Amino acid sequence: MDKNTAVIVPSYRESEKNIKALVLKIKNILPDSLTIIIDDSPKKEAHKIKSLLKNYKNVKIIFRFKKLGRGSAVMEGFKEAFKNKNIKYFFEIDSDLAHNPSQMPRFLNKIMTGKCDVVIGSRYIEGGKTINIVLSRIILSRIINLFLRFWLNIKLSDFTGGFRMYNRKSTEFLCKSKIRSNGFITLSETLFLLDKNGFRVTEVPITVSVKKEGKSNVDIKELFRSLFFVLSIRFNRFIN
């Protein structure tokens, strides 16, 4: 059944160790899934993860050598995976071990009921949590997500988490849509587009843990750019 599943992994200057550990975990849970890594690291660093291609079955790496944004990386991964007609389910997951592939069956169980098109991993519903992360970041994220719930008028709790699953119909919709953002805020833009176009979105609780090495790619500039973007989003409804 996991032959029907693709896992899209955006990565930017992540440690080789993290990516290897993640791929191993994915292959433990979904041995026959197609894993597509979209890596934007500079050329000098990118080659380090090439060995993954030799060591694991069904792993594809797309190197872009330029920081083009998490959102644009995932969209590129979706388009690549979508070419494979056997793929029914599309995961996205961070490459820094913040998300644990052992929680993937929760998403699959939910989507296989046929009652939803998209499953969001949420830190903010009962059973969900964030661990090992400084309190100020948790509070900031919580405020941003409460604001997005109100501003986008969608009854969900986690608009910025990058552990999600989409069925083929919703992935096709996103691939054909004009996505205006390219960074982490694409997570909110796609959710908005899906919700406003009638896709059924639901949440499952997840535990998110801090990255073991390296630091966040989201800086204050991106945070402000994203804020202005979400403010504008509502005025562009049904743009597609």
Residues in contact with ligand GDP by CB under 6 A are 10-12, 14, 38-40, 67-70, 73, 94-96, 98, 162, 184, 211, 216-218
- Vertex 197: Cα angle to 186 and 4 (nearest 5): 70
Measured from the CB atom, the residue of 108 and 208 that comes closer to ligand GDP is: 208
Distance (Å) of CA 115 to CA 118, 160, 200: 10, 23, 8
Measured from the CB atom, the residue of 172 and 222 that comes closer to ligand GDP is: 222
* Phi and psi at residue 90, to the nearest 5°: -125, 115
Tokens 């693709």 belong to: 6
**Contact in structure between 189 and 237 (CB atoms under 8 Å):** no
Measured from the CB atom, the residue of 33 and 199 that comes closer to ligand GDP is: 33
Residues in binding contact with Mg ion, number by CB under 5 A: 3
Using the rule CB under 5 A, give the single segment among 171-179, 196-204, 207-215, 223-231 that binds Mg ion.
207-215
**Contact in structure between 196 and 237 (CB atoms under 8 Å):** yes
Minimum CB separation of residue 10 from ligand GDP in Å reads 3
Partner whose binding site includes residue 38, from ligand GDP, Mg ion, none (CB under 5 to 8 Å by kind): ligand GDP
* Phi and psi at residue 15, to the nearest 5°: -70, 145
Partner whose binding site includes residue 70, from ligand GDP, Mg ion, none (CB under 5 to 8 Å by kind): ligand GDP
Which residue from 14, 96, 158, 189 is in contact with Mg ion, where contact means CB under 5 A? 96
C-alpha to C-alpha distance for 123 and 181, rounded to whole angstroms: 23
Distance (Å) of CA 190 to CA 42, 140, 214: 27, 21, 27
Minimum CB separation of residue 95 from Mg ion in Å reads 9
Three-state DSSP class for 202?
strand
Which residue from 98, 152, 193, 208 is in contact with Mg ion, where contact means CB under 5 A? 98
Q: Which residues contact 41 (CB under 8 A, 6 or more apart)?
A: 11, 12, 13, 14, 63, 65
Partner whose binding site includes residue 170, from ligand GDP, Mg ion, none (CB under 5 to 8 Å by kind): none
Minimum CB separation of residue 124 from Mg ion in Å reads 16
Minimum CB separation of residue 96 from Mg ion in Å reads 4
Site residues, Mg ion (CB under 5 A): 96, 98, 211
